[in-house]
Amino acid sequence: MDIPASSPTYGQEGLWGCYYGWAPPATPQLNSPEGFPNAFQTPYQCQMNTYQPGPAAANPATHSSPTGALARPAAGASYKAQSPSEKGPQPESKAASPSSESRYGLDPQLLPSAVQVMQEDQRQWEGKTFGAHAPSALPPLSTTDCIIEDKGNASPCFIRCTTYSFPCEALSAQQSHLPLGAIVTPLARQHKAERPVPVCEEGDCLRGCGECGAYMCPSMDWQDCGQRFHCPFCGKFTEVPWPQYQHTSSHGRRVDSDRRPELSLGSYEILEPNKEEAACLLLAVDVSGASLRAGQLESICQQLHSLLDTVYRAEGTEQCALRVGLLTYDHRVHLYNLSANLSRPSMLVVMETDELELPLTDGLLVPLGECKHIIQSVLQQIPLFSPEPQHSTSIPQDTVISTGLKILQEVGCPGKLLLFHSSALSESPSRTASSGIFSSNKPKSLFQASDSAISLAKACVSQGCSVHLLLFAQQDVGGAWPGDIPHLTGGGLFSYSNLLSKLEKERLHSDLMKIVQTVTVYKAQLRVFSSKELSVSGCYGSFIPSACPGLVAMAALDWHTALALEFTHSKALSEGRGVAIQVAVSYTSPNGEKRIRVHSLSLRCSASLLDTFRNSQAETLLTFYCKKMYCAVVERPLQCLREELQAEVTELLASYRKIGCTTPVSSGQLVLPVFLKALPVFVNSLRKSEVMLPGVRSSVHQRLLQRSRLLSMDTAGTVTHFYPQLLSLCVGDERPRVGEVVRCSASSLDPCGLYLAYRPSALVLWVGHGVSRQALMELFGNSCFSLVTTGEIKLSTLDTPLSVHVRTLIDTLQSNSAFTVMLKVVKQGDSCEDSMQCCLVEDKSPNGGASYADFLYHIHINSLRLLV
């Protein structure tokens, strides 16, 4: 059903999804199954057509098929329906599950496979280099390990578009129902073999457009022998200062283009001469009576002691320049003077926190090289504090954040604020009236932040204060969610159940290392320029929206953070000029340098919608839809958003079927663009995610946390979240595999195998009941299946091939995540197997979401209705 990698039509289009009998001429409309409006309940038998390839195409890498994503078979090719008896011996079925079965009788294993799409792309680009030329061609997938070379266009790791051929007309774009968007990851981590983004001094760079402010890039069109240039973003001409003049060649390029990054590369950085204060690290620890009685304060102080030691050693010098500050709080705020000229640190108690005034600023932030021994002595004394019985709770978290922000404002520097909160969550009096789920008569969205939280977050953004809140008190019901400010300031929310557990201590240590060691920039201002025929109509991500979608301010930015841009036509585009997009991010580096990173991208545009579909990618569309829908949940009902997303994909498939099939196609044939084969399974996984479709066991705080993390997640992380990596480790008596990827379905699980499921929020090791005793002994040190420990564990360090292989694989997966997830072992048939079912996104989900087969059937039927 899917085109195999060896097929000569790979890279073109093919009739690989032929289902006959899907659309009978007269089928009554029945009640909607599983949230699908107007779906059919009559079961259908599915026959598969097998593809018999003829002679290979002359150039399979080009998209020359006249039918769009469904190429006609080559000469000598035929499609023949086979009966089960003609197909020969079939492989043994694996673990059957009711959740894997389709109510319409479809075989899920014969549907388009996201795993196959990724594997084919990896094979196509393995050992090769993708040259990012202008205008850009369709790049490798974000999940493909490939070297990108900047040839005048920004790397797809920085800017990845939903389509690399924009429609010329606005009406054509509306008819296609394909969003025109881009996923921008300004500080994305590059491949180790790639050349880093070059940095040039501001005085040495050519100035950009004097009219719109766009920065110099290869898309500028030079005129009059290099005396002026035409800006593709505003259409105006700018004169070149005489000292920077260079004549142009016969091709219209300046003769010094190869020596100037701004003229020859799609990405470069400008280093400004002025410098600001370096970033700092501010620690805030809860020392209230509830925190002291919980017995976790000593563990927190030990972790901070270890953290400072690691940072100190990483600097490689006794003159560690990173400035560090410490404050503690209960019903008051305690500030510490850490000056090295004091014989011992002094503590200042702030009684009035409503209108906070700092008694002093000197000594609150001191270089770690000077105060390491002082701050560590304070950390040793904190667990010895005596709780005050009349004050068992602490002040609200917003007050502590305001105190930390005040310190940064007085000193005049950006930085990270790490808040360790152990007592029950509480709200400030000014916030209680406008927060919570039941605190107001006015209907409010569950995902909507309070006005006071947004106001405080704006102040943090202005100062470059990134808040990281680490919670050690469980409170999943009632009250406001404490993650709004960390979410809006480029920080994060981390929850821990009990630090008395060794596993939780290790997770806390790992998270602290990730927070501190991740290179972060501050006071980021992102500005978007596009061709004058386009306008930026939307910007979606983890930030405070502004009145102008093309201008975004962020407190902090790191290599994980991505946002989505949406473009609309204001005029018709020209095929000759194409499309130009530029994203410029000005920021302050950790050492105080002012820099501007510029990413420019040049794309084709076409009057034919076939080109638009052929140059689109499902994973980019998934990331775009995710960010747009997750931003919209603040204002609109979830049911409306699910229906809108479903209708959008249905219209997209109907549009392609209408324009992409120049030959008659049976109503039973599934028609998809080749690079959008995985789109239905991606969209279905997004529709039934906990944010969009909460289940019985869905925690409110878990849903809010998942939304906040996905809004800032890049394309590769988003794809892995909605279609997890299901890795087969070994089956039966086989040797350990190198993590062969299988489809996310229960039918892919062999009862005699071990499987590792990974998504950024979960890491599950599934153990089949038929696993060999040797494999159990090598991995767990125990050959009895019933004695294998389930739940969150840490694998024993055994010197066996399987143990070494699995632990190395887990470490590799964890290194690419912004936060740490602990390994959870699940045995086949256990009550905790729900953790694994959540990763099997092709099946019916525990929260009631439809299976991939049923969803694909539904959108296929509805797309046919639109064409009647």
Q: If we measure between CA atoms, which residue out of 24, 25, 7 comes closest to residue 16?
A: 7
Residue 847 placed within a domain: no
Residues 530 and 651 in one domain: no
Domain containing residue 741: CATH number: 3.40.20.10
Q: What is the DSSP string of 754-785?
A: EEEEEETTEEEEEE-TT--HHHHHHHHS---G
The pLDDT, as a whole number, for residue 28 is 31
Residues 513 and 527 in one domain: no
- Show the beta-strand stretches assigned E in 189-248: 199-201, 221-223, 228-230, 237-239
Instruction: Report mean pLDDT in 10-residue bins for the chain, 868 residues.
Output: 29 32 33 37 31 31 31 30 34 54 80 94 94 93 94 96 96 94 97 94 94 95 93 95 90 91 96 94 91 84 92 67 92 89 82 75 88 89 77 79 94 96 70 39 66 95 97 64 93 89 92 94 97 96 94 96 97 93 97 96 94 95 98 92 95 91 77 91 96 83 92 96 94 70 93 94 93 91 91 91 91 89 92 88 90 93 89
- Maximum alpha-carbon separation in the chain: 90
In contact, 810 and 754? CB cutoff 8 Å: no
Residue 130 placed within a domain: no
How does DSSP classify residue 596? E
CA distance to 271, 379, 527, 585, per residue, from 598 (Å) = 11, 43, 10, 7
What's the rounded Cα separation, in Å, for the pair 140 and 150?
14
Domain containing residue 561: CATH number: 2.60.40.1670
Q: If we measure between CA atoms, which residue out of 228, 198, 218, 204 comes closest to residue 266?
A: 218
Q: If we measure between CA atoms, which residue out of 527, 604, 630 comes closest to residue 184?
A: 527
Residue 647 placed within a domain: yes
Angle at 489 between CA 485 and CA 491, to 5 degrees: 90
The pLDDT, as a whole number, for residue 714 is 96
Residues 790 and 737 in one domain: yes
Residue 64 placed within a domain: yes
Residues 533 and 429 in one domain: no
Residue 143 placed within a domain: no
The alpha carbon dihedral of 249, 250, 251, 252 has a sign of: positive
Burial class (CB in 10 A: 0-12, 13-18, 19+), 242: exposed
Residues 334 and 450 in one domain: yes
Residues 481 and 370 in one domain: yes
Residue 26 placed within a domain: no
Task: Tokens for 391, please give them.
Answer: 């004050």
CA distance to 84, 93, 376, 743, 747, per residue, from 96 (Å) = 20, 7, 57, 14, 6
What's the rounded Cα separation, in Å, for the pair 467 and 490?
7
Q: If we measure between CA atoms, which residue out of 462, 446, 456 comes closest to residue 485?
A: 456
- Show the beta-strand stretches assigned E in 192-322: 199-201, 221-223, 228-230, 237-239, 267-275, 280-286
Amino acid symbol at 537: S
Residue that terminates a domain, selected from 517, 546, 579 = 517
Range of the domain at 430: 280-517
Residues 472 and 541 in one domain: no
Residue 224 placed within a domain: yes
Task: Return mean pLDDT, the chain.
Answer: 83
Tokens 């005049």 belong to which residue? 412
Residue 763 placed within a domain: yes
The pLDDT, as a whole number, for residue 628 is 97
The pLDDT, as a whole number, for residue 645 is 96
Tokens 């892995």 belong to which residue? 720
Domain containing residue 302: CATH number: 3.40.50.410
Report the 10 Å Cβ neighbour count for 31.
Answer: 9
What is the number of domains present in the chain? 4
Residues 361 and 469 in one domain: yes
Residues 471 and 370 in one domain: yes
The pLDDT, as a whole number, for residue 591 is 93
CA distance to 165, 342, 384, per residue, from 371 (Å) = 57, 10, 21
Residue that terminates a domain, selected from 570, 592, 614 = 614
Residue that terminates a domain, selected from 581, 614, 647 = 614
Domain containing residue 94: CATH number: 1.20.120.730
Residues 323 and 423 in one domain: yes
Amino acid symbol at 342: L
**Strand partners of residue 43:** none
Residues 432 and 389 in one domain: yes
Amino acid symbol at 663: T
The pLDDT, as a whole number, for residue 530 is 96
What's the rounded Cα separation, in Å, for the pair 14 and 6?
13
Residues 456 and 331 in one domain: yes
Predicted TM-score (pTM) of the model is 0.87
Non-local (6+) Cβ contacts of 156 within 8 A are 130, 132, 139, 140, 142, 148
Burial code (b: 16+ CB inside 10 Å, e: under 16) for 724-760 equals bbbbbbbbeeeebeebebbbbbbbbbbebbbbbbbbb
The pLDDT, as a whole number, for residue 349 is 85
In contact, 665 and 657? CB cutoff 8 Å: yes
Task: Tokens for 562, please give them.
Answer: 């991505």
